[in-house]
Amino acid sequence: MENRTDTVPGSVERPAGRAGARRPTIVLVGHGMVGQRFLEALTDRGLTTSARVVVLCEEPRAAYDRVHLTSYFSEGAAPEDLCLVEDGFMARHGIELRLGDPAVAVDRGARTVTARSGLVVGYDTLVLATGSYPFVPPVPGRDAEGCFVYRTVEDLLAIEAYAAGARTGAVVGGGLLGLEAAGALKGLGLATHVVEFAPRLMPVQVDEGGGRALRRRVETLDVSVHTGVGTQGVVTGPDGRVRGMALSDGSTLAADLVVFSAGVRPRDELARECGLPVGERGGIVVDASCRTADPSVYAIGECALASDGRVYGLVGPGYEMAETAARRIAGEAGAFTGADLSTKLKLLGVDVASFGDAHGAAEGCLDVVYSDPRAGVYRKLVVAEDGTLLGGVLVGDTESYALLRPLTGTVPPVAAEHLVLPAGAGAPVTLGVSALPDDAVVCSCHNVTKGAVRDAVGTHSCTTVPEVKKCTKAGTGCGSCVKVLGRIVSAELAANGIAVDTGMCRCFPQTRTELYEIVRALRITSYRHLLDGYGREAARGGEGCEECKPAVASILASLAPAIGVSGHVLDGEQGALQDTNDRFLANMQKNGSYSIVPRVPGGEITPEKLIVIGEVARDFGLYTKITGGQRIDLFGARVEQLPLIWTRLVDAGFESGHAYGKALRTVKSCVGQSWCRFGVQDSVRMAIDLELRYRGLRSPHKLKSAVSGCARECAEAQSKDFGVIATASGWNLYVGGNGGATPRHADLLAKDLSDAELVRLIDRFLMFYIRTADRLERTSVWLERIPGGLDHVRDVVVHDSLGICAELEALMAEHVAHYRDEWAETVNDPERLSRFVSFVNAPDTPDPTVRFVPERGQIKPEPALLTLSATVTA
């Protein structure tokens, strides 16, 4: 916790600035998404240097992404992964954040705020960002054990803990949050019901036709939907725990857990108690500058009743309010007069979007509808008689949302009859970003126009989407505009005549993907042939560079069986192309020693093999470490010891774990249904099968995998390049995850797969990745870069949209059939063994610089040598 100040209860803090001059104090009550955006807006204007800023936060954690709260269940996100506060932000800007210490009273006469701890803070400006609270209908039993709301991380943690002993869950409310809550319960393995009083799901966002399509899609996911009925009460057992729900139609719904998600109400109690005006139905009354009746007090976000008479429950309007309040506090002009209520979400795996006048309230408007009940696709555009696009509803296919929403209020260059067709439905005209005017808002969360994005490229020299995000904040909110951002950036670069060299390196003008296709189609078997035939003119006849040599070596190794060459990385020309690790089939460590990592499929190992590892470590004096990938690493081997060590390991039945290569590292697993009382599938067997199938598979970057035996996700499968999670009906396959410095949670590719279906899809996914990824590109980066993203990858590997799946499967079959353990083949080949020496001209002399010192009963590299090694490497 940063900058927390302990003060005597009852004392008023009014600290002096430099030379005794008092700095004005800004007190922010509430630290949610909107509160954090307000703080960022203050820092953008330099106000945190001229004013003291104090934040009173009710929750025990700093601001986090409540929009993606469900990712805690659906993607395995940890609570800290959702944090919106950059490391060191509070300390860097001198902001005093008090977590778990909410404001309990405001004295407007004295201009003080009292916190729950007893701290009293004087203010010059007070900003209320208290948000909203979940509405729980006043029905009998609503406080029973097993009843929850769905609003905060703590709510989610409580639901997760209780669900471990439950089988069936029910959600009261079929709106946005209700369907998110249903997705969470489904992800926890509960049979799930949704009860909605309105006649359709998401009644605010979608119309009747969209509601029917949404219901069909949701019910195909084994979620029971009950619309047009209300909740009369919660049924409890003798122990006071939830047993079901009584509905208004006289029926009773069995349930062990109930989540209330029937809407929210503004948190306006502080304003009421200090005499500020509030709306008849709640909300702190503010004007266009977000100022209350008291000129010193502002209100922003879901607690505020805007000047247009609305309480906005979306993050985009809240961000705009935060900007408006910061501008006015800084003495700048600014007004909030309403906001875009468009939404695009993925609920229970179903894409849903609405924008503009989605229900056709305007007089004389027309509906243009496309509906495909079998595919679960519904698309409606609302247009005026003159062709002006007024709004729309999209269910099941929201691909064009990012382009349609900014066109609202204009006459599009393409007729609505064409625009309403979904992707792939044969629309005769494709709408591009050139159709958007410069004043079209492409990012409604941060109110960023197409013109601002173009300016970021043309004036500020941004050439990538991440650079544009940093410059404009576009795409950093809900993320629904990222695809269209990429298109605008590409179009603007082309319009400015900026040629971006897509070549892999200075030797090749082609991308890695293009080189892969050249090698595969022409069956090129050597780097020299490829460089002289297809390299840049200046590179032909040369030796190549350290970027393309290992990349081409990887291509040749991954295609080895198909093009008829040896797949062993040390054979012939291949050996010269490898980097240090591959050259010695081991990872070089800081002091010039090497590590040995035997493969332990699925983390399962016999006592006999454990004994062998222990004996090898003892006899060669190695450091041993059990890793997070369920393997045992041995450190400290000199290069000439590697063959001796691996001879013993190979004789004991061990294989290379490929920790040194851009290849499959490991398939981690939990113990699964064989031992765990929550397990629903044999995760160990599946992990072993997958690891043995894909061992030795060379790829653009390392590959990691995991298999979890149930939705509790103990193997952390959603942080892997391909992860598998067991369900009662089979396996769910997730792709594109990774840990590391920029972690990414994997996306669901397909669900409830049989063993054969799972393996077939992984085969296709891996070979498609190897075929199309760039050099040293992880699956996570590839998935976000490749045009069409996850949807395109799913079309290719699941639906075979390119007609290449048979070819991908054949390539994988070739790999599996021709796999040979690299170390087993090396220890039996004198020519390969000849390279394992420290000095070529003195092969029997060990490297004298490789030295160790004792630590905790083992060894570690000598500290002085670490400094020398780092200096030499640099």
Better-scored residue on pLDDT, 375 or 181: 181
Is the pLDDT score of 35 beyond 90?
Answer: yes
Better-scored residue on pLDDT, 452 or 583: 452
Is the pLDDT score of 709 beyond 60?
Answer: yes
Give the Cα separation of 10 and 61 in Å (integer): 25
Structure tokens, 603: 């983390």
**Tell me: the pLDDT tens digits for 721-766?**
999 999 989 999 999 998 765 668 899 999 999 999 999 999 999 9
Is the pLDDT score of 692 beyond 50?
Answer: yes
Helix locations, 133-278, DSSP H: 153-163, 176-187, 208-219, 269-273
Structure tokens, 43: 């820092």
* 1 confidence band (pLDDT: 50, 70, 90): very low
Beta bridge partners of 595: 587, 635
Nearest to 668 by CA among 730, 601, 735: 601
545 among the known binding-site residues? no
Task: Give the chain's mean pLDDT.
Answer: 86
Residue 857, by phi and psi: left (phi above 0), alpha (psi -120 to 50) or beta?
A: left
Residue 666, classified by CB atoms within 10 Å of its CB into exposed (0-12), middle (13-18) or buried (19+), is buried
Helices 465-472 and 482-495: angle between axes, nearest 10 degrees: 110
Identify the pLDDT of residue 21.
57
Q: Which segments within 304-447 are labelled E, that is strand?
A: 304-305, 343-347, 350-356, 366-372, 377-383, 389-395, 441-443
Lowest mean pLDDT segment, chosen from 365-374, 471-480, 799-808: 471-480
| CB 393, CB 422: distance < 8 Å | no
Identify the pLDDT of residue 276.
96
Residue 113, by phi and psi: left (phi above 0), alpha (psi -120 to 50) or beta?
A: beta
**Tell me: the pLDDT tens digits for 528-581?**
899 999 999 888 888 888 788 888 988 988 888 888 776 676 776 666 676 667
Give the Cα separation of 274 and 261 in Å (integer): 29
Q: Which segments within 437-549 are labelled E, that is strand?
A: 441-443, 448-449
What number is the average pLDDT over the span 472-494?
78
Nearest to 695 by CA among 667, 724, 723, 735: 667
Question: Where do the domains of the chain lie, and which CATH numbers do they carry?
Answer: 12-133+266-329 (3.50.50.60), 136-262 (3.50.50.60), 512-578 (no CATH)
Nearest to 705 by CA among 750, 751, 739: 739
Give the Cα separation of 769 and 777 in Å (integer): 10
Identify the pLDDT of residue 499.
66
Quote the Cα angle for 81-147-261, to 5°.
Answer: 65
* 864 confidence band (pLDDT: 50, 70, 90): very low
Give the Cα separation of 781 and 742 in Å (integer): 10
Identify the pLDDT of residue 132.
92
Give the Cα separation of 64 and 70 in Å (integer): 12
What number is the average pLDDT over the span 628-640?
90
**Tokens 């400290």 identify what position?**
636
Is the pLDDT score of 279 beyond 90?
Answer: yes
* 10 confidence band (pLDDT: 50, 70, 90): very low
**Tell me: the pLDDT tens digits for 227-265?**
999 999 999 999 999 999 999 999 999 999 999 998 889
Identify the pLDDT of residue 251.
92
Q: Who contacts 89 (Cβ-Cβ below 8 Å, separation ≥6)?
A: 39, 95
| CB 292, CB 277: distance < 8 Å | yes
| CB 114, CB 21: distance < 8 Å | no
Is the pLDDT score of 12 beyond 60?
Answer: no
Give the Cα separation of 275 and 645 in Å (integer): 79
Nearest to 172 by CA among 100, 248, 119, 239: 248
Identify the pLDDT of residue 868.
28
714 among the known binding-site residues? yes
Query: In Å, how far are 34, 121, 290, 448 from 53, measured between CA atoms?
Result: 16, 11, 19, 27
pTM of the model: 0.55
Give the Cα separation of 615 and 644 in Å (integer): 13
**Tell me: the pLDDT tens digits for 510-522?**
989 899 999 998 9
Give the Cα separation of 199 and 831 in Å (integer): 76
Q: Who contacts 529 (Cβ-Cβ below 8 Å, separation ≥6)?
A: none
Q: Who contacts 362 (Cβ-Cβ below 8 Å, separation ≥6)?
A: 382, 384, 390
Percent of the chain with pLDDT over 70: 90
Identify the pLDDT of residue 627.
87
Nearest to 569 by CA among 840, 823, 836, 843: 823
Helix (H, G, I), strand (E, B) or coil at 439: coil
Q: Which segments within 448-505 are labelled E, that is strand?
A: 448-449
Handedness of CA 91, 94, 97, 98 (dihedral sign): positive
Quote the Cα angle for 100-105-109, to 5°.
Answer: 140
Is the pLDDT score of 112 beyond 90?
Answer: yes
- Residue 848 half-sphere exposure toward CB, CA atoms < 13 A: 2
Is the pLDDT score of 719 beyond 80?
Answer: yes
As a whole number of Å, the end-to-end CA separation of the chain is: 37
Structure tokens, 421: 């067709």
Identify the pLDDT of residue 396.
81
Nearest to 129 by CA among 49, 59, 46, 32: 32
Identify the pLDDT of residue 775.
86
What number is the average pLDDT over the span 791-795?
92
**Tokens 């970027």 identify what position?**
547
Q: Who contacts 720 (Cβ-Cβ below 8 Å, separation ≥6)?
A: 668, 704, 705, 706, 734, 737, 738, 746
Give the Cα separation of 376 and 381 in Å (integer): 17
* 273 confidence band (pLDDT: 50, 70, 90): very high
Better-scored residue on pLDDT, 15 or 116: 116
